[in-house]
Every structure is written in structure tokens, then in C-alpha cells.
Amino acid sequence: MSALEHTTLVDRIRQLEREAQPLEPGTAERELLRHAVMESSERFLRNIETLKAFDDSEDKGIGLLQAPISERGIPLEAALELLEREVVRPGGNPASGGHLAYIPGGGLYHSALGDYLAAISNKYAGLFFTGPGAVRMENMLLRWVADLVGYPATAGGNIASGGSIANLAAIATARDAHGLKGRDFASAVVYLTTQAHHCIEKALRLAGLEEVQVRYIPIDERFRMRPDALEQTIAADRGQGLKPWLIIAAAGTTDTGAVDPLDAIATIAERERCWFHVDAAYGGFFLLTGHGRRVLKGIERSDSVALDPHKSLFLPYGSGIVVVRDARWLAATHRYSGHYMQDALREPGEISPADVSPELTKHFRALRMWLPLILLGTEPFRAALDEKLLLARYFHQEIQALGFEAGPPPDLSVVTYRWAPPGVSLERANQLNQAIVDGVRRDGRVFLSSTLLDGRFTLRMVALSFRTHQRTIDLALRILREQVAAIGA
């Protein structure tokens, strides 16, 4: 390279450095950015009690597309106004206590601060070598969860993005732990119920197990797996030369909140030498309560479990945990490496998340969970969960007083119910309940959802947000009474 070429190269590098300078705001500019963003968050939180739980807007955020990404940016105030109007406002508001639909996420403020600090430090949390503190934090939290479940010291796990990935990791591990190969898939049998979350079947397909035999075990009147039917089905499969392999039970189904009889199922799994996985994405952290420990008895006998902190631990969306009784099986399925990682020497006794999950790139998710727990302790979480259990019982009682037909008493905090006046046909009752849930959504003060149970259009109420209190439930009951009057029923 000639001296002229070298000078030209250096000049160009310096020019590009100046042009890229906006990526590194100074102290004063950071203060302005932070103040504007915090003001936006405060506007949201100051009005959280009056914001709609569902905003059934006509435009559905289409205005966002009127400001496409371009060479030149727009002022922060304009960007925040666009965000608040076109993204935060329309649709569901899971941060609202009135979000009683599906299984809502939480949105703890302490977790938001944890995410902020995680993003600022940008600590890579995938390998112990590069992020020893971040990895120790995740493993400490996983040990706390394993102890909560009742697993031995051999247990290990991973904090993933949610229950779907957590269940996928568990199913892939179960596949390898039982030595299943392609030639075995057609004769291997999985046992679950029709109440299992759809991510289970998706996980089977993603794990290459689409050809396995899937048995849907009959459920009882409370939508829980029947152990006697499970035993009979396994015996019949063995008689046909098939290989019973995996039993998947639910600790809180999405539809009805039902908890399968885990202890009885664990006994069958042990006798039949099946891998026993519990999907506790919704109900797992109710183990913090006395009621939860009684209802979930037997979960400690499972081989693997999935729990979502962004559900019953109130964290923001994007946190799912898988824990396996023997971490060696989890590592055997997920541990891979490359030559470029040769410097990342593994520390004896400390598991790196990249070795026990599908992810190599790893967000520092542990911080959003650690910060609220270390600051607040577990006591307020237990109190909030106990409150939700009682709110579900309260709603179950009061909805019947309004003339609704209620489903079974809640195992956890989901209540099913429907408007079915005497003499009304099933088809007409389904239409009436559709009209009720549509009316509630248009009203927007609370957000309720529906499902289909045995052909019956059924309404659901989920008390899980830490902002949901008795006044919220009373408001929901009042709105339902209004909707019944509105449809002339």
C-alpha cells in the first residue's frame, strides 16, 4: 500500500467514525433520552388503572407503517408518540389487572429495570468463560427452582424464552435419554390429554418425532388425566408390541387450569419405565403456596418440568424454565462446540447455558428474575399467588349467583363458565356466549377469553396478574351482567 493510499484509508476511517458518532450519545444526551423514555413509561403506569385491558381499535396500529425506517431518523418525541399510539394502545394490555384472558404475562417494574441493566451491560450469558457472574446467577436461580420442585442435587436446567422452548428441550432430552433413533419412532408412544398445550405437539414435530404414536388419555369431569385409563392404554400398547416412552402431564392447563393427578401418574411412569414430563408453565410457581404444594404433589417425582416465570412469577414475557432431574441428560442432548470457541474452557462443576439449551446466543435473562427476587424476597410473590387462588374461588361463587353455569371448582386460578338459560339449545347458547365475550372485548375495561369444551362455547377467567384484585373481579362480574342484559337474555 502506497503512502497516499494509506492516508486515504485513514481519512476514510476517521470520516466514518464521525458519521457513526450518533450511536454513542454522551452523558447529556443520554440524560435527555432516558428522561423522555422514563416519562413515557410513567404516563403508562400512572394510567394503568384506567387504561383499557383490550383496545378494539379499528386501525390496529397501521399508523406505525407511515413512518418507515429510512436514512434519516425522527425526533425521539415523535418516535415515542408513535409507539404509545400505534403499539402500546391497540389490542390486549397484559400489564393491566383487567387482563383476565388466556394466561397473562406479568410486567414487574423491578424486572424491567433488570432488563435495562442487562441490555446496558450487554453481558453474554451463554458461557461461563465470558460471563461467570451471569452464568452463576442463572444457575443459582435454576437451583432455587429445582429445590422448589423437589428435585435432587443432580438437577440442572436453562432459562429459555418461554414454555414452548422449555418443553421442546425437555422432549428432545427424553428422546435421547431413552435412546430413540429414527427406526424407533413409529413404535414409540407418547401419552397426554386433549388438554395439553399445543406447543407439546409442535415440540414433538420439531424434535423429529412426528411419526411417534400419540395417545390421548381420557379425562375426568374436571378435565384431568385419568390414571386408570393411562394404565389400560399402556397395557394395550405393550400388548401390540409398541414401546411406551413418554408421559406428559399438566400442572395447570391453559383451557381450564386443571392439574393432572401427578403423584398417581408418577407411580405409573416409574413402573412402566416411561419418561415423565410435567408441563407446569402456568401452574409451577404456585408451589410457593401451601395450596399449590398440595395440588401439585408428585411433581417432584417427574423427570423434567417446564415452568414460566412470565406467568405465575409475574415477570415480563420472554422467560421459560426447563429443569431436568439429571442434568447430564440435558447436556448430552444439547452440548456442541466449535474450534473458534476453544478459549472457552469449561469450568468444572459450573454448567454453561449454551451446553444445556438450543441457544448459543444468550440474553442475560436471569437478571430480570434475580432482581425482583433478591430485592423483595419470596413473601410478596406467595401472597399475590394466594390472592389469585382466592379470587378464582370468589369468581366461581359469584358467577353462579349471576345465573351463569360454572365449570368445576378451580384447581388454580382459571375459572370456566357459560351463559346457558334453561331450554336454550346448544347452538343458541354458543351464540349467546360468543356475543357476551365479543361485547366484553368491545367494552375493553376487562379482557376475557373463550374456549371450546365438548362442543360448548365456554368463557374463561384467569386471575394471574399481580395487578388483579377483588375490585377487578367485581368489575368483571358487573360487565358480564351488563352484557347479559344487552343481549336480551
Residue 3 lies in a domain: no
Please check whether residues 372 and 391 belong to one and the same domain.
Answer: no
In DSSP terms, which residues pair with 210 in a beta bridge? none
Grade residue 213 by pLDDT with cuts at 50, 70 and 90: very high
pLDDT above 80 for 345: no
H-type helices in 296-355, by residue range?
Answer: 309-312, 327-334
Q: Calculate the alpha carbon distances from 342 to 334, 336, 339, 348 in Å.
A: 17, 12, 5, 16
Pairing state between β 414-418 and 405-406: antiparallel
Domain containing 488: what range?
A: 34-102+379-489
In a domain, 21, yes or no: no
Q: pLDDT tens digits for 348-406?
A: 668 899 999 999 889 999 999 999 999 999 999 999 999 999 999 999 999 999 999 99
Please tell me the distance from the alpha carbon of residue 412 to that of residue 395, in angstroms, as a whole number: 12
Beta carbons of 93 and 53 less than 8 angstroms apart: yes
337: closest CA among 140, 126, 154?
126
Count: domains in the chain: 2
Indicate if 266 and 360 belong to the same structural domain: yes
Of 341, 376, 411, the position where a domain reaches its end is 376
156: left (phi over 0), alpha (psi -120 to 50) or beta: beta
Q: Same domain, yes or no, for 89 and 152? A: no
Assigned domain for 292 exists: yes
User: Is residue 20 assigned to a domain?
Assistant: no
Domain boundary among 376, 403, 429: 376
- Residue ending a domain, choose from 376, 400, 422: 376
Give the list of residues 6+ apart from residue 403 with CB closer than 8 angstroms, or none. Answer: 419, 421, 484
Q: Of 179, 215, 447, whose CA–CA distance to 332 is shortest?
A: 179
CATH number at residue 77: 3.90.1150.170
Whole-number pLDDT of residue 342: 73
Task: Kindly report, residue by residue over 132-146, the tens digit of the pLDDT.
Answer: 999 999 999 999 999
Q: What is the pTM of this model?
A: 0.94
192 and 315 share one domain: yes
Domain membership flag for residue 25: no
Same domain as 395, residue 372: no
